[in-house]
Amino acid sequence: MKTLILTAEDLRRIALHVGLDALMDEAIASLTAAFESYDATSITIPARQGFVYTRPALGLLEWMPCMSNGTRATIKVVGYHPENARTRQLPTILSTVSAYDVHTGHLSCLMDGTFLTALRTGAASAVASRVMAATDSEIVGLVGGGAQAVTQLHALARVLPIRRVLVYDVDPGVLDSFPARAAGVAGGSRIEPASLEEVVRSADVICTATSVGVGQGPVFDGTEPRPWAHFNAVGSDFHGKVEIPLWLLKRSFVCPDFREQALREGECQQLAPEEVGPSLYEVLQRREEFGALRERLTVFDSTGWALEDQVTMELLMAHARALGVGSRVAIETVSPEVLNPYHFVAAPEPAAAEAPRPALASS
Amino acid sequence: MKTLILTAEDLRRIALHVGLDALMDEAIASLTAAFESYDATSITIPARQGFVYTRPALGLLEWMPCMSNGTRATIKVVGYHPENARTRQLPTILSTVSAYDVHTGHLSCLMDGTFLTALRTGAASAVASRVMAATDSEIVGLVGGGAQAVTQLHALARVLPIRRVLVYDVDPGVLDSFPARAAGVAGGSRIEPASLEEVVRSADVICTATSVGVGQGPVFDGTEPRPWAHFNAVGSDFHGKVEIPLWLLKRSFVCPDFREQALREGECQQLAPEEVGPSLYEVLQRREEFGALRERLTVFDSTGWALEDQVTMELLMAHARALGVGSRVAIETVSPEVLNPYHFVAAPEPAAAEAPRPALASS
């Protein structure tokens, strides 16, 4: 009974083999199917919890469990340490996801969570944009041109006829490097740096994916978007962190990925519960009621939902199994001698002291 | 930046090398020190949460996070699947523990949790018994002779002058095999099967470690223990599961490992909050007030506390580092190209399709 370990390098091999476009298409299809069949009685997703701290560094370590009753249990653990990049040349976010066999409790898989998170966050915006954005959306606006912007653009380019991409970032270096980072996944669209005002005013679909500080939002204000603009608000995932101005939320149909969480951590923090629209799964399950959304202002409040992680993990595990990628390690005690916690010590005491010691590495 | 993986086999090597007695002594000393210095403002332990289910098998999967502020964060995940033993020849409990670097969020260690749990549960009873049992306790009674009974006896034999061990189990096979399983760790004491009544009536220290069903407890009743008897109630860890009769709790000083959890899951479920005594760390921190406990009926309500896991994990990690045991795997994405989630795909599209694919295993 072994645990499948999928490292970042293993996931790289899967991505190279399957292709990024195919993987993103599969992620979008898998999330769509999961949202369409979501039912609160068959999936249990406790509110995510975590440790928030300022010593030894500013940090957040949170766990996101998800149980598809009777079939799958996963827990994603996400560390958010904003000083990582500057002080250690490490990603701000480090993450792993674990899957458990619900027959036995066995840890069946442990996987790097970074690629999975990027993939599912992009895919979720594509799912939302496909039902809320104008079908002929040609201009994508990106407020914030960091890592998330790349997967946002990639996902949107898979579902909308994007021709132009307007990018704004407060950091000129990030702005400069964006076209090269996104070139391969922009669906052939033209990528142009733009002013914040231009991005918000001109785009059909706008993704906000910034690292604005708590209490420092919103990230734009005073600019009138197109009447049919659809926003994917990706960056807000923390109490006090918001990107979209309140007046815009008040005029928009606001659709959270998961209502309870969005009211606590997302743009919906700014709203009263009755001002928040149905969650994305409800819009997908009752599409016929929501056709008019394409013609009005809409905001997808994407806080990151544990079900998205579970579904995307399943997708990557299936590829790993099919391709024979990853390593298998017997981690847990699975002795049939369940009554003897010391079974592995042949002759416990005092003979153990005389028994030859196992070879041990010297370092 | 690698993750240290310590499998059950790695822990076996550590146990063989260090010796079970030395390991148990270290666990007892580490727990004692942790309880003595415990301070609710410097350690954060959220209530454990979990999924409880009946499909596809009766099961509980729970996570137990623990943060020693500024220094250590760990999460133990425990699966409890009572049908494992009968249907799959697997332990009822499968478990892993993860440690995270609080500077960066990095998963620094993943370890099998079974041996750690056995060790710390035994050690906790030793810590409690050392302050609550009569110092000349010679007779240990075991109600339930399964896996936990072995480590309970081992731990007690390290801190008390045990000469006789009376064991009772409802399962004759378990009872028969107990002496052989416990022989090496019983400190030379004589192990005798006994009736339930004899165990409760005669022993100085009694450990209840049974798998009594929810609503089926207590596991004994109507027998008067010695006036100074100390009970370590180990088996109660679930809503509705109790081992000690209410009348005995009412007459005893009841000391939980962790009050909030014990009121929810332990023997303390049977009591009103005001009937529950101070937690073990309080007794240790104010020993001078509690000297008289040795002469009266006492119950340690051991539900299993996340701090115990963290402290014991630290101990085992230190041995692993010193002995060079375990494997180190680079699991997480740690690219310095933090702005590019697709950095690993050299030339994303369309060139990727033409690039040679990496070799993949055939299975």
Q: What count of other Cβ atoms lies within 10 Å of the Cβ of residue A353?
A: 12
Distances (CA, A) of A34 to A27, A225, A246, B42, B349: 10, 31, 30, 41, 28
Structure tokens at B257: 């490992």
CA B298 to chain centre: 20
Is A94 in contact with B75 (Cβ distance < 8 A)? no
Q: Is the peptide bond before A350 cis (omega within 30 degrees of 0)?
A: yes
- Which residue among B56, B102, B185 places its CB closest to the CB of A348? B185
Please report the pLDDT score of residue B348 as a whole number.
42
Q: How far is CA B26 from CA A241, A299, B32, in A?
A: 45, 56, 10
Could you give the 3-state DSSP secondary structure of residue B73? strand
E strands, A128-265, in order: 139-143, 164-168, 190-193, 205-208, 230-233, 253-256
| Strand partners of residue A59 | A53
In whole angstroms, how far apart are CA A275 and each of A35, A226, A250, A252?
22, 21, 8, 10
Which positions in chain B touch A96 (Cβ < 8 Å)? 98, 107, 331-332
Q: How far is A248 from chain B (nearest CA, A)?
A: 29
What stretches of B299-346 show up as alpha helix (H) in DSSP? 306-323
Cβ-based neighbour number of residue A322 at 10 Å: 12
Q: Is A47 on the interface with B (CB under 8 A)?
A: no
> Amino acid identity, residue A263?
L
User: CB contact, 8 Å: A92 with chain B?
Assistant: yes
**DSSP per-residue string spanning A73-107:** EEEEEEEE-TTHHHHHS--SEEEEEEEE-TTT--E
A318 close to B (CB below 8 A): no
Q: Which of B51, B56, B341 sits opposite A147 (nearest CB)?
A: B341
Q: Are B231 and B238 in contact (CB under 8 A)?
A: no
B336 is written with which tokens? 């310095």
Residue B239 clears pLDDT 90, i.e. is over it: no
Q: What is the SS3 assignment for A359?
A: coil
**pLDDT tens-place string over residues B180-203:** 999 999 999 999 999 999 999 999
Report how far residue B333's alpha carbon sits from residue A67's, in angstroms, rounded to the nearest whole number.
25
Residue percentage of chain B with pLDDT more than 90: 83
Give me the torsion for CA of A49, A54, A59, A65, rounded to 10°. Answer: -10
Q: What are the beta bridge partners of residue B142?
A: B167, B207
**Per-residue pLDDT at A356:** 41
Angstrom distance (rounded) from CA B261 to CA B306? 11
Q: How far is B345 from chain A (nearest CA, A)?
A: 7
CB atoms under 10 Å from CB of B138, counted, come to 14
Question: Going by C-beta distance under 8 Å and a sequence separation of 6 or more, which residues neighbour residue B322?
Answer: none
Among the partner residues A8, A65, A106, nearest to B63 by beta-carbon distance: A65
- Chain A: nearest CA to B96, how far in angstroms? 7
Q: Please check whether residue B233 is in contact with residue B205, taking contact to mean a CB–CB distance below 8 angstroms.
A: no
User: How many other CB atoms are found less than 10 A from the CB of residue B331?
Assistant: 25
ω into residue B56 within 30 of 0, thus cis? yes
Which of chain B's residues have a Cβ under 8 Å away from the Cβ of A313? none
Is residue B349 pLDDT above 50, yes or no?
Answer: no
**Interchain contact, B61 vs A100, CB within 8 Å:** yes
Q: Which residues on neighbouring strands pair with residue B316, listed in sequence order?
A: none
Residues with Cβ < 8 Å from B225, sequence gap 6 or more? B200, B201, B203, B206, B231, B248, B297
- In what helix (H) or strand (E) does residue A284 lie, and over which residues does it extend? helix A280-285
pLDDT of residue A336: 64
Name the residue among A53, A61, A342 with its Cβ closest to that of B184: A342
Q: Is A18 on the interface with B (CB under 8 A)?
A: no
DSSP string computed for B197-250 = HHHHHH-SEEEE---PPTTT--S--S-PPPTT-EEEE-S--STT---S-HHHHH
Give the residues of chain A that fall short of pLDDT 70.
336, 346-363
> In the prediction, which pLDDT does A79 show?
95
ipTM of the complex: 0.89
pLDDT greater than 90 at residue B315: yes
HEC string of A168-187 equals: ECCCHHHHHHHHHHHHHHCC
CB contact under 8 A, B90 and A338: yes
Angle at B51 between CA B46 and CA B54, to 5 degrees: 155
The encoded tokens of residue A211 equal 């690292």
| Cis ω before A193 (30° cut-off from 0) | no
- H or E stretch at B52: strand B49-53
Smallest CA–CA distance, residue B246 to chain A, in Å, is 29
Q: Where would I find the beta strands (DSSP E) of chain A? A: 3-6, 43-44, 49-53, 59-68, 72-80, 93-100, 107-112, 139-143, 164-168, 190-193, 205-208, 230-233, 253-256, 298-301, 327-329
CA B280 to chain CA mean position, Å: 15
Chain B CA closest to residue A2:
B7
Report the distance separating Cα A60 and Cα A78, nearest Å: 8
- What's CA A91's distance to the chain center, in Å? 15
Position B361 scores a pLDDT of 44
Residue among B103, B112, B345 minimizing CB distance to A20:
B345
Taking the C-alpha atoms of residue B190 and residue A174, their distance in angstroms, rounded to an integer, is: 73
Q: Which of the 8 DSSP states describes residue A215?
A: T
Q: How far is CA B71 from CA A50, A53, B309, in A?
A: 15, 11, 15
Q: Which of B15, B105, B349 sits opposite A81 (nearest CB)?
A: B105
Q: Does B95 touch chain A (CB under 8 A)?
A: yes
Q: Looking at beta carbons, which residues of chain A come within 8 Å of B98?
A: 77, 96
pLDDT in tens, A321-338: 999 999 999 999 887 677
Burial class of residue A203, CB neighbours in 10 A (0-12, 13-18, 19+)? buried
The predicted structure's pLDDT at residue B362: 40
Q: Write out pLDDT tens, residues B219-229.
A: 999 999 999 99
pLDDT attached to residue A306: 94
Task: Return the residue matching tokens 């892993």.
Answer: B96
Asked if A42 reaches chain B (Cβ–Cβ under 8 Å), the answer is no
- Rounded to whole angstroms, the Cα distance separating A234 from A221 reads 17
Residue B181 host element (H or E): helix B172-182
A29 vs A33, A66, A155, B207, CA distance in Å?
A: 6, 19, 11, 54
Whole-angstrom distance, CA of residue B303 vs CA of residue A175: 54
Among B94, B146, B331, the residue with its CB nearest the CB of A112 is B331
Nearest to B280 by CA among B250, B313, B264, B303: B303
Q: Shortest CA distance to A27 belongs to which of A323, A320, A321, A316?
A: A316
Would you state the structure tokens that stand for residue B112, as one six-digit string? 């099998």
Cβ atoms < 10 Å from Cβ of B149: 29
| Shortest CA gap B35–chain A (Å) | 21
Contacts of A240 (CB under 8 A, 6+ apart): A214, A215, A269
CA distance B74 to chain A (A): 10
For residue B288, give how far its alpha carbon lies from the nearest alpha carbon of chain A (Å): 34
* C-alpha–C-alpha distance, residues A207 and A124, integer Å: 12
Average pLDDT for B314-318: 98
A28-79 pLDDT tens trace:
999 999 999 999 999 999 988 999 999 999 999 999 999 999 999 999 999 9
